[in-house]
Chains A and B, each alone.
Chain A
Amino acid sequence: MPKTLRILIWLAVALLGALALATVALHRGEQINAMWLVVAAICTYALGYRFYSKFIAAKVLTLDALRATPAERLENGRDFVPTNKWVVFGHHFAAIAGPGPLVGPVLAAQFGYLPGTLWILAGAVFGGCVQDFVILLFSVRRDGKSLTEMAREEIGRLGGLIAYVAVISIIVILLAVCALVVVNALKASPWGTFTIAMTIPIALLMGVYLRTLRPGKVLETSALGFMLVMLAIWGGQWVSQTASVARWFTFSGPALAILIIAYGFAASALPVWLLLAPRDYLSTFVKLGTISLLALGIVALRPTLHMPALTRFIDGSGPVFAGNVFPFAFITIACGAISGFHSLISSGTTPKLIRRETEARMVGYGAMLAESMVAIMAMIAACVLQPGIYFAINSPAGIVGQAPEAAAATISNWGFPITAAEMHSLAQSVGEQTLYNRTGGAPAFAVGMAHIFSNSLGGQALMAIWYHFAIMFEALFILTVLDAGTRVGRFMVQDALGHIWKPLGRTSWYPSILATSALIVAAWGYFLWQGVKDPLGGINSLWPLFGIANQLLATVALCVATTIVIKMGKAHYAAVTMGPLVWLVAVTFTASWHKIFDPNPRIGFLSHAAQLAFGASANARLIFNDRLDAVVTGALIVMVGLILIESAVEWLRVLSGRKQARVKESPFVATRFAEEQG
């Protein structure tokens, strides 16, 4: 293609993107079409990928097409396998896409669609994609080493230890938050509970089928499992309409919490092939299909966003969670913009599959852009709802009251008109008794998704089926994270305890399996129980904790990345990783300060504890929970501080010449793929 034409095309993309962003940002008081968000996102991602990632690849990382990757040098047909870049892209995307980019944007929509959308776009292009890309490349150049190992080698022992503690913390808090989202989505919902309950025998059946009847036919088994899940959704309608059966599947929040804790323990102790692996396959199958379907639905329907660009709640008085737009919008949306958790995947399986260094750009940077697009779709699904409905679903009873009329009146007084009759009619159309106080983000996302799907396919008649399909999709997704996370946490605890007493480190010794499973389940189970009992719906305190823990891991990853960039003699380009690092530090420190010390009891843990202590009915357990949350937040922020100090000392040593700038890369070996295109 001639150079002039290429320039003109990119100019057109930039102008279209600018127009779309201006429309998204500057429209006030009028509703806009969701396609403006889609166009703004696609143009931003295209420009970011074409120019920024290319700049990083060429100038900062100097990707070397002639250098053999560990997949080639250490090829063993098992972990290290040179794989086609599109296949690695799909594999990497499937591993990084979790429930986070679906839930975070839905919660952040309380500020309006604008803050969350801008953060998703800017955060991904300048932060999340950069982190995933550089960590992937650095891991590739170090034989696929993990983030923890790279932190220990490049920063110091403390860096490695903090990375380890950050991973454990994030797993525990993540699992508690995920479980809480499921509890809030399923409480008093026999249809949803039945469908999700059925996924357990379906996964077990898949495990047995795969092992005995059709060994190795995973795609076929997953398709079969998917059909059974669809049958379970259809059967759930009958269950919900048959009073004698429905009561067996109608649970309160605490009862569901106990069931999920028991499930988590069982899943951690059962053989992988029986439950974890088939559930993982089923979840991935549903995930890839549903995300594609949602993208098609949005393009086909081109819905109008009913949520305003900015709501009155940017002042921090929001009912979904309390706190100003800065820093809380940036803590709430982690996975769609920048997620520390991705650095574990980028330094896990993916670097062992990359065939050529130059492909790290598409896999690392590109897959994160796709994940960010999922977050934009979640934002659209939340904002196509009437704001009154959105707030009625997402506001806890402690804020809007228990009675439907009182809740409708409170929300209408905020300027988002809604009536109890409308909410009742909506609940009936989706096959639920009520949709009030369904905090956590999942039910609001499910209603939005059902709205998009039913208007594209099947009309109102299928609204209930689509709603429960969406709930099943989210819960299946989340329970898979719960299974896998509990087991990963268990292995990490076993690894650590093995240093104290060797038998505890043996992953096949049952007493150790049971003890460490109980330990990790008790840790996230405690936070889950705390969230279920919290009158503010739990999400108010737990989601910011999760956001802070996740961003702490991103801070570790960006510290490692900046250290390596400086040691590579590229200090003049260090702003590429230091920019998002400085932003994350500002966000996490500010958010943590507010969560601990803010005088508003809805935000600050300590002021809430003090308010409870002085109240007429002092609740010792709630007071203890608040203080524990404050301590956990404080510990996380101390770790951020420590890793920053250790990294800064290392940077100063190298920059002042007191330490030789030397990176610990694997030696150069020429690739045999050098003559291929790309």
Chain B
Amino acid sequence: MKDRLIEPGTSYVETAALGCPVEQSSIVFSAGTTAGANSRAKALKSTRQLAEQLTSCTQIFLAVLREIFDESAYARFLNQRQWVSSRAAYAAFRQECDAAKARRPRCC
């Protein structure tokens, strides 16, 4: 899969979090540059890499929180029914998930 995506003159940069699919945007061009431009490109690449990694970590952290706090479950619930968030929708969601939540033990 990886090999099929790589064009000549490009290389892969592992920007996504571990275990996440590597995105198209993480392919950078490295061929056909002068030495000065190369070092600037390298600096730019590492800055962009760092920024992408930070964004990825923040997104994962927020996703963890949203999952722990049932916000993702609520989003899936709305998505499945093609509803928008409202009191009635949330009440329906709670009714559905409370039975499962109440049966879930909290560990010691």
A654, CB-defined interface residue at 8 Å: no
Complex contact A215–B85 (CB within 8 A)? yes
Q: In chain A, what residue has the closest Cβ to B78?
A: A216
Residues of A within 8 A of B35 (CB): none
Chain B contact residue count (CB 8 A cutoff): 46
Q: Which residue of the partner chain, among A77, A95, A480, contacts B80 with CB atoms under 8 Å?
A: A77
A271, CB-defined interface residue at 8 Å: yes
When A271-B98, A342-B107 are in contact, do A215 and B87 touch as well, CB less than 8 Å? yes
Among A83, A178, A216, A507, the most chain B Cβ lie within 10 Å of the Cβ of A216
Complex contact A98–B76 (CB within 8 A)? no
Mask of B58-96 contacts with A, CB within 8 angstroms, 1/0: 001001111111111111110110000111011101101
When A211-B90, A341-B108, A488-B104 are in contact, do A90 and B67 touch as well, CB less than 8 Å? yes
Mask of A204-216 contacts with B, CB within 8 angstroms, 1/0: 0000001110011
A349, CB-defined interface residue at 8 Å: yes
Residues of A within 8 A of B108 (CB): 98-100, 170, 174, 178, 334-335, 339, 341, 481, 546, 550
Complex contact A215–B106 (CB within 8 A)? no
A70, CB-defined interface residue at 8 Å: no
Chain A contact residue count (CB 8 A cutoff): 67
Comparing B18-26, B36-44, B47-55, the segment that makes contact with chain A is B18-26
* Alpha-carbon separation in the docked complex, A97 to B106 (Å): 8
Residues of B within 8 A of A342 (CB): 107
Q: In chain A, what residue has the closest Cβ to B65?
A: A219
CB distance from A286 to the nearest CB of B (A): 13
A345, CB-defined interface residue at 8 Å: yes
When A216-B71, A219-B66, A675-B1 are in contact, do A96 and B107 touch as well, CB less than 8 Å? yes
When A87-B64, A90-B68, A91-B67 are in contact, do A280 and B106 touch as well, CB less than 8 Å? yes
CB distance from A674 to the nearest CB of B (A): 9
When A91-B64, A218-B71, A219-B66 are in contact, do A272 and B103 touch as well, CB less than 8 Å? no
Q: Is the interface of A mostly helix, strand, loop or mixed?
A: helix
Q: In chain B, what residue has the closest Cβ to A167?
A: B105
Complex contact B107–A216 (CB within 8 A)? no
Complex contact B87–A218 (CB within 8 A)? no
Complex contact B76–A95 (CB within 8 A)? no
CB distance from A77 to the nearest CB of B (A): 5
Complex contact B107–A215 (CB within 8 A)? no
B31, CB-defined interface residue at 8 Å: no
Among A341, A342, A359, A484, the most chain B Cβ lie within 10 Å of the Cβ of A484
Q: Is the interface of B mostly helix, strand, loop or mixed?
A: helix
Complex contact A484–B105 (CB within 8 A)? yes
Residues of B within 8 A of A222 (CB): 69
Residues of A within 8 A of B64 (CB): 86-87, 89-91
* Alpha-carbon separation in the docked complex, A171 to B64 (Å): 28
Complex contact B98–A480 (CB within 8 A)? no
* Alpha-carbon separation in the docked complex, A81 to B73 (Å): 9
Q: Which residue of the partner chain, among B17, B72, B90, B102, contacts A272 with CB atoms under 8 Å?
A: B102
CB distance from A254 to the nearest CB of B (A): 24
* Alpha-carbon separation in the docked complex, A136 to B94 (Å): 27
Complex contact A211–B91 (CB within 8 A)? yes
B-facing residues in A543-574 (Cβ within 8 Å): 546, 550
Complex contact A488–B101 (CB within 8 A)? no
Complex contact A91–B68 (CB within 8 A)? yes
- Residues of chain B whose beta carbon lies under 8 Å from any beta carbon of chain A: 1, 17-22, 60, 63-77, 79-80, 85-87, 89-91, 93-94, 96-108
Chain A to chain B contacts (Cβ below 8 Å), 15 pairs: A78-B76, A86-B17, A98-B107, A100-B107, A211-B87, A211-B94, A215-B87, A216-B89, A277-B98, A277-B101, A280-B106, A281-B70, A339-B107, A344-B105, A677-B20
- Residues of chain A whose beta carbon lies under 8 Å from any beta carbon of chain B: 77-79, 81, 83-91, 94-100, 170-171, 174, 178, 210-212, 215-219, 222, 271-273, 276-277, 280-281, 284-285, 288, 334-335, 339, 341-342, 344-345, 348-349, 359, 480-481, 484-485, 487-488, 491, 507, 546, 550, 675-678
- Kindly list 6 other residue pairs between chains A and B, CB separation below 8 angstroms, not including A216-B85, A677-B18: A86-B60, A216-B90, A272-B98, A280-B101, A481-B107, A677-B21
